[in-house]
Amino acid sequence: MKKSLRIVSGVCNSVNPAGCFSNVRNWIEAEKKLPTIEGGPRSVLILGCSGGYGLGARIAVAFGAGSRTMGVSFERAPTVRKKASPGWYNNQVFDMAVAEAGLFSETLLGDAFSNETRKAVIKHVKKSGMGAFDLVIYSLASPMRIDPFTGETYHSTIKPTGEKLTGTTLDVATGRMTEVSFEPATDQEIASTVKVMGGEDWKLWIEALKGADMLAHNAKTIALSYIGPDATHAIYRSGTLGKAKEHLEATAAEINAIIAAEGGSAYVSVNRALVTRASVVIPIMSAYLCALNKVLKAKGLNENCHEQMSRLMRDRLYGADAVVATDEKGRIRMDDWEMRDDVQKETSDILRCLTPDNIEELTDWAGCSDELFGLFGFSPADRGL
Ligand code: NAD
């Protein structure tokens, strides 16, 4: 690997704009090859549009259904001295490709948790004439949130709850395995994480859009969650992040009560674990992710963020044969392939045998590492591999 290129805590010390451009173009070309999403949404708001699941969803609806999209993300624009953050380049190429295709998009940079951004979105929708939203995708992943009413700052933490946790983590950038341990989160850390990643802000968005008459009749809104297997529960589902996801999932019912009278519906989609800027910082999950990818690839079941969101739009929310099938808690399960018994059994068999010496052989660490550097626009060739 080129010595100068490093990723520490999910942040790379460089970015390759050309690589970001081709990543987005590849997802767009993949979507264009699929049949049109019948009955797809006309006007879509994507909160968290610049990477990962939000970008995948935006590409699916724009190029699969011809939807007009407005995207909001928190990305750094370039300066004379410094390149932009990867998501800024992703937004640029998305808007360019949309214009080339004769479609409509508008992309706003701002803090989606703020009331100012809500007002800006409403103002831009009215001005652009793109029409009230019939789909709102809530795909934010953030380490902090400023309460828009009190100005207080909340930080999310990634910790177990109840008991101390010791486990093995894998640095996806370097392939190094280390033992880690975490004290359980305090009640305050749990509450702060729920404040940042729970459903409060999702509900504020829906209330604001409804209040401004910017939600179409029969509008749908969807937020994303994760569950995962027992092997990751201590750090995720029963940890601080899982508490926030429980809150987010419960908020779907509150939002349904707000929009049901207009035919609207709120859903939570439980998606598969994937390498994104948000997920690689979750310790212990990384070893699971590399093992899972090996198994899914061998079975021809591996999907990226775009493929997951395209399947969600086509098979579950829209399309001639779409069925909004949910589990007993009302959640759409896009993690169905990840959670298949055979996939989970083989993944846990790998994890049981994993040592620092057999990572390359037993897991898809190399592929996950390529995906991680790819998020910053670097191909294996750019890294001298
Ligand atoms: P990501 O880091 O790739 O994308 C996060 C997006 O949120 C980016 O567009 C970023 O700019 C935006 N954002 C962050 N803070 C913001 C702010 N204050 N204002 C405006 N935009 C802001 O993350 P991701 O992995 O795609 O996660 C999206 C959602 O999917 C999260 O809710 C996550 O929990 C969920 N999810 C992720 C996985 C996974 O494995 N990656 C699995 C299931 C569910």
Whether residue 334 has its Cβ less than 6 Å from ligand 1: no
Query: Angle at which helices 52-65 and 86-100 pack, to 10 degrees?
Result: 0
pLDDT digits (tens, 9 = 90+) for 231-281: 999 999 999 999 999 999 999 999 999 999 999 999 999 999 999 988 988
293 CA to centre of own chain = 17
Measured CA to CA, the distance from residue 20 to residue 344 in angstroms comes to 32
Whether residue 271 has its Cβ less than 6 Å from ligand 1: yes
Number of the ligand 1 atom closest to the C-alpha atom of 75: 11
The class (CATH top level) of 12-158+187-284+302-335 is alpha beta
Cα 8 to ligand 1 centroid, rounded to whole Å = 18
Beta bridge partners of 12: 7
Per DSSP, the three-state class of 282 is coil
Measured CA to CA, the distance from residue 328 to residue 358 in angstroms comes to 39
For residue 348, the tally of other CB atoms under 10 A from its CB is: 16
For residue 32, the tally of other CB atoms under 10 A from its CB is: 12
Measured CA to CA, the distance from residue 116 to residue 111 in angstroms comes to 8
Whether residue 286 has its Cβ less than 6 Å from ligand 1: no
Q: What is the mean pLDDT of residues 202-226?
A: 98
Helix (H) or strand (E) holding 234, with range, is: none
Measured CA to CA, the distance from residue 37 to residue 321 in angstroms comes to 10
User: How large is the C-alpha radius of gyration of the chain?
Assistant: 20
pLDDT digits (tens, 9 = 90+) for 30-74: 999 999 999 999 999 999 999 999 999 999 999 999 999 999 999
Of 236, 267, 288, 318, the catalytic one is 236
Half-sphere exposure (Cβ direction) of 142: Cα atoms closer than 13 Å? 28
Closest among 103, 82, 207, 234 to 148, alpha carbons compared: 207
Half-sphere exposure (Cβ direction) of 61: Cα atoms closer than 13 Å? 30
Whether residue 319 has its Cβ less than 6 Å from ligand 1: no
- The domain locations on the chain are 12-158+187-284+302-335
Measured CA to CA, the distance from residue 334 to residue 225 in angstroms comes to 10
Check residue 288 and give left, alpha or beta (phi > 0: left; psi -120 to 50: alpha): alpha
Residue 266 near residue 345 (C-beta atoms within 8 A): no
Whether residue 275 has its Cβ less than 6 Å from ligand 1: no
pLDDT digits (tens, 9 = 90+) for 147-189: 999 999 999 999 999 999 999 899 999 999 999 999 999 999 9
For residue 331, the tally of other CB atoms under 10 A from its CB is: 17
State the pLDDT at residue 277.
Answer: 87
Specify the residue with its C-alpha closest to ligand 1, atom 26.
Answer: 52
For residue 345, the tally of other CB atoms under 10 A from its CB is: 10
pLDDT at 289 over 90: yes
Measured CA to CA, the distance from residue 267 to residue 202 in angstroms comes to 11
Q: How is 333-355 classified by DSSP, letter by letter?
A: ETTTTTT-HHHHHHHHHHHHH--
pLDDT at 2 over 70: no
- Residue 5's φ and ψ, nearest 5 degrees, are -90, 115
Whether residue 74 has its Cβ less than 6 Å from ligand 1: yes
State the pLDDT at residue 281.
Answer: 87
- Here the tokens at position 176 are 């190094």
- Here the tokens at position 307 are 């493929």
Q: pLDDT-derived band of residue 1, with 50, 70 and 90 as boundaries?
A: very low
Examine the residue annotation and report whether 154 is marked as an active-site residue of this protein.
Answer: no
Measured CA to CA, the distance from residue 104 to residue 95 in angstroms comes to 8
Beta bridge partners of 332: 269
Q: pLDDT-derived band of residue 3, with 50, 70 and 90 as boundaries?
A: low
pLDDT digits (tens, 9 = 90+) for 315-372: 999 988 888 899 999 999 999 999 999 999 999 999 999 999 999 999 999 999 999 9
State the pLDDT at residue 145.
Answer: 98
Number of the ligand 1 atom closest to the C-alpha atom of 85: 11
Cα 358 to ligand 1 centroid, rounded to whole Å = 31
Cα 309 to ligand 1 centroid, rounded to whole Å = 13
Residue 365 near residue 294 (C-beta atoms within 8 A): no
pLDDT at 95 over 60: yes
Cα 51 to ligand 1 centroid, rounded to whole Å = 7
Closest among 316, 273, 332, 300 to 39, alpha carbons compared: 316
Helix (H) or strand (E) holding 37, with range, is: none
